[in-house]
Amino acid sequence: MAIYAGVELGGTKCICILGSGPEDIRAREQLPTRDPPATLAQIAEILARWNSGAEPLAAIGIASFGPLDLRAGSRSFGRIGMTPKQNWAHTDLASYFTQRFAVPVGITTDVIGAALAEGRWGAGHGLSDFAYVTVGTGVGVGLIHDGRPLIGAHHPELGHARIARAPGDDWPGHCSFHGPCVEGLASGPAIEARCGVVAVDLPPESPVWSLVAHALGQLSHLLVVSVAPQRILMGGGVLSHRAHLFPEIRRCLRASLNGYLDIAEVNESLEDFIVPPGLAADAGPLGALAVAIDTHKQAMESTGK
């Protein structure tokens, strides 16, 4: 069996894993995310060590915080865009690794990577079309369409969609660009700004959770009427251990659609339509591994092997 390396490049830490899937992780190393030269050199050292083992790497997958240029054929493909993360804007991640390793290197965002991992091993398994929503420091949405990530002129950013407000709620929201977009209402920092306590400490009976569920129900409405997913996976730090929110999010979606769509997924079994992810916290590094596996497969197909 081929062996792969995955690198999840996060805002505060990076996780490198070696293996071929969740049941076959052979090594895992974590390092803090510092400035680009130091961080990337440390990652390259780990990958080089793994690549010089008995079984060389078949491919490397990178799943990074965004924004990233993922346009096929773009001259800046694999480069980080404008980011508040100090010194990381315009870092050319793809070139850094392709110049150092003679194996295929794949790259995508952390959110799209996690969606790919969920499709391969988790709650999106067997589906051709689904959405993966992560609610944490921000709200990220990875879209899988026809078995592949949906990327247009740039990767979609549905966490910043403007949505209908819950009746009576006129709090201005916490997104510095849009105020009350989905992220400005439902992210961890938004909850903290509104309540004065971090989301993890907010008691389940707080009425603010209903407003968070409303925002995520609105996002679900938008997903259903735009990309028509077979399922919506919702996870991330804000939603973990918050099982009580799922029935409310489903209720908000059903009320918002108001009977418009005559499709079984939405009208009959919302319990199977909006679900938690299957891979929990491992979706990030496994996402990088999924990118490596897909990249290897594409490389083999293009060389006719």
Residues at the site binding Zn ion, with contacts judged by CB under 5 A: 160, 175, 177-178, 181, 183
Shortest distance in whole angstroms from residue 190 CB to Zn ion: 10
- Least Cβ distance, residue 173 to Zn ion (angstroms): 8
Nearest CB to Zn ion, comparing residues 212 and 290: 212
Cα 34 to Cα 11, 31, 41, 97: the distances in Å are 9, 9, 11, 17
Dist. CA 15–CA 61, nearest whole Å:
12
d(CA 188, CA 200): 8
Pick the closer one to Zn ion by CB: 175 or 239: 175
Q: How far is the CB of 175 from Zn ion (least distance, A)?
A: 3
Report how far residue 154's alpha carbon sits from residue 144's, in angstroms, rounded to the nearest whole number: 15
Question: How many Å apart are CA 118 and CA 105, to the nearest integer?
Answer: 20
- Which of 152/177 has CB closer to Zn ion? 177
- Which CB atom, from 85 or from 178, has the smaller least distance to Zn ion? 178
Provide CB contacts within 8 A for 116, sequence distance 6+: 108, 142, 144, 149, 287, 290, 291, 294
Q: Is 229 helix (H, G, I), strand (E, B) or coil?
A: coil
CA dihedral 82, 137, 265, 278 (to 10 degrees): 110
Our CB check for Zn ion shows the closer of 177 and 258 to be: 177
219 or 279, CB closer to Zn ion?
A: 219
CB of 165 to Zn ion, least distance (A): 14
Smallest distance from Zn ion to CB 172, Å: 12
Spatial distance between the Cα atoms of 25 and 81, rounded to a whole number of angstroms: 31
Report the alpha-carbon distance of residue 116 to residue 4 in Å, rounded: 15
Strands of the 4-9 sheet, one edge to the other: 24-32, 13-21, 4-9, 59-64, 105-109
Minimum gap (Å) between residue 267 Cβ and Zn ion: 31
